[in-house]
Amino acid sequence: MGGFEGGDEGGYWDIDTLPASTNHVNTSKPDRRQSTIEKTDAGYSIKAHAKVNIFLKITGHENGYHTLLSRFMYVEDLYDTITFVPCECDTFTIEGCEGVPLETNTIYKAYKALNDHTGDLEILDFFYKHKVVVTKRIPSQAGLGGGSSDAAAFMRLVKEVCNLLISTEELAKLGSTIGADLPFFIYNYTSANVSGFGEIVEPFDEDPLSLELYTPQIGCDTTLVYKTFKEHLLNGISLASFIGWDQLDSKTLLERIADPIMLNDLYKAALIAYPELKNEAKEGWFFSGSGSTFFRLR
Ligand SMILES: C[C@@](CO)(OP(=O)(O)O)[C@H](O)COP(=O)(O)OP(=O)(O)OC[C@H]1O[C@@H](n2ccc(N)nc2=O)[C@H](O)[C@@H]1O
Ligand SMILES: Nc1ncnc2c1ncn2[C@@H]1O[C@H](COP(=O)(O)OP(=O)(O)O)[C@@H](O)[C@H]1O
């Protein structure tokens, strides 16, 4: 996996409010992180952290999408940085995502969605005066949610700097139109049970784990992995096999279930779609999302 930098912890704005607690498990202490929004001479910036899926179980298939139950956990020391840098721009400009065409960039999709939803001229005006600079550290097609995290962080930063009157819940709903993983990143919890297509996010009260990641030089296409799951594995799902998992803390889950294939339904699908992944699998490592990242406790 490519190297990544640790974060400096100074000078963040403490601007997030606590989330509404209805329909959330562990409401006594929802662990929503403070926004890591920073204002420097370079402009406004925010960290977009990676996630891993501690477990991921497919629960069904509706309207072309799979429903799932998954424990998402953010990764403290792996993040992209998104900065709004002052400049005179003729059009919406993103730097740092070379190789990703503008129209397909999740950040651009988030910009369009926010514009369409709010009709707020302030956003248009702001991006004539600022460009978006992305420092990419999260590997792509790696099951770490990089594109989704970038888009969610972008939306959270726009909400703050343009003073948008939109609730976090509305923002998460808007985000889910861009990608299934966005709501988790918009709520900004360190750990959560995620269900539905990814739009139901319930904070799970636990200390984040210190994780070691290994991303092989194999890009896993999420669409292909889900398609492979549907063709080969969907008929075999057993909802009874993971009852209660959402109540167990992540460390206990990894220690007690231990089998990476059982923990993540998409692992088997990824192995079918990308047989070369088998050569990268090592004893004691787990598989994140649709791959190709493996992780273990440090
Ligand atoms: C598998 C997970 C697990 O966290 O993420 P990654 O590990 O790839 O990061 C997510 O469910 C991925 O979410 P995301 O990466 O946002 O997927 P999207 O771009 O919304 O979907 C790409 C395609 O995957 C399929 N898809 C996606 C999500 C879902 N719940 N069911 C699906 O069948 C659909 O064919 C969709 O068109
Ligand atoms: N801001 C972005 N950062 C990275 N990839 C992006 C971005 N916007 C769109 N993409 C596209 O999304 C694909 C999946 O990338 P990513 O979200 O990092 O992986 P994963 O779905 O495995 O978590 C990439 O191959 C790329 O073409």
For residue 193, the cross-strand partners are: 71, 202
- Which pLDDT score, from 0 to 100, does residue 23 have? 31
Q: Is 175 in the pocket of ligand 1 (CB under 6 A)?
A: no
- The string of pLDDT tens digits covering residues 26-38 is 434 445 666 678 9
Q: Which amino acid is at 272?
A: I
| Average predicted confidence (pLDDT) for the chain | 89
Residue 244 labelled as part of a binding site: no
Per-residue pLDDT, 31: 53
Bridge partners of residue 51, in order along the sequence: 74
Is the CB of residue 141 below 6 angstroms from any atom belonging to ligand 2? yes
pLDDT greater than 70 at residue 255? yes
146 CA closest ligand 1 atom index: 9
Is 144 labelled as part of a ligand binding site? yes
C-alpha 91/C-alpha 132 separation (Å) is 11
Q: Is the pLDDT of residue 25 over 90?
A: no
- Residue 264 near ligand 1, beta carbon < 6 Å: no
Whole-model pTM: value is: 0.90
Nearest ligand to residue 140 Cα? 2
Q: Could you give the percent of the chain with pLDDT greater than 70?
A: 88
Q: Checking phi first, is residue 96 left (phi over 0); if not, alpha (psi -120 to 50) or beta? A: left
Cβ atoms of residues 245 and 38 within 8 Å: no
The verdict on whether residue 139 carries a ligand-binding annotation is: yes
Burial 237-254 (b: 16+ CB within 10 A, else e): beeeebeebbebbbeebb
The atom of ligand 2 lying closest to the CA of 221 is: 22
Instruction: Tell me the mean pLDDT in the region 251-269.
Output: 98
ipTM above 0.90, yes or no: yes
Q: Which residue of 4, 75, 78, 100 sits with most ligand 2 atoms within 8 Å of its CB, as the best mutation to test the pocket?
A: 100
- 147 Cβ below 6 A of ligand 2: yes
What mean pLDDT do residues 223-245 have?
98
3-state SS track over the chain: CCCCCCCCCCCCECCCCCCCCCCCCCCCCCCECCCCEEEECCEEEEEEEEEEEEEEEEEEEECCEEEEEEEEEEEEEEEEEEEEEECCCCCCCEECCCCCCHHHCHHHHHHHHHHHHHCCHHHHHHHHHEEEEEECCCCCCCCCCHHHHHHHHHHHHHHHHCCCCCCHHHHHHHHCCCCCCHHHHHHCECEEEEEECCCEEEECCCCCCCEEEECCCCCCCHHHHHHHHHHHCHHHCCHHHHCCHHHCCHHHHHHHHCCHHHHEHHHHHHHHHCHHHHHHCCCCCEECCCCCCEEEEC
Query: Cα 253 to the chain's mean position, in Å?
Result: 20
Q: Which long-range contacts (CB under 8 A, 24 or more apart) does 257-264 make?
A: 257/55, 260/285, 260/286, 260/287, 260/294, 263/54, 263/55, 263/56, 263/287, 264/53, 264/55, 264/56, 264/288, 264/289
Question: Would you call 90 a catalytic residue per the annotation?
Answer: no
Q: How far is the CA of 244 from the centre of ligand 1 (A)?
A: 24
Identify the bridge partners of residue 67 per DSSP, sorted by sequence position.
60
Give me the catalytic one of 47, 57, 80, 181.
181
51 is catalytic: yes
Q: Looking at per-residue confidence, does 200 or 15 come out higher?
A: 200
What is the rounded average pLDDT of the residues 221-250? 98
CA 224 – ligand 1 centroid, Å: 10
Q: How far is the CA of 145 from the centre of ligand 2 (A)?
A: 7
> Looking at residues 232-250, what average pLDDT do you find?
97
pLDDT, tens digit, for every residue of 191-200? 999 999 999 9
pLDDT in tens, 31-80: 566 667 898 888 899 999 999 999 999 999 999 999 999 999 999 999 99
Report the pLDDT averaged over residues 85-104: 96
Domains (range + CATH), the chain:
37-297 (3.30.230.10)
Could you tell me if the CB of 198 is within 6 A of ligand 2? no
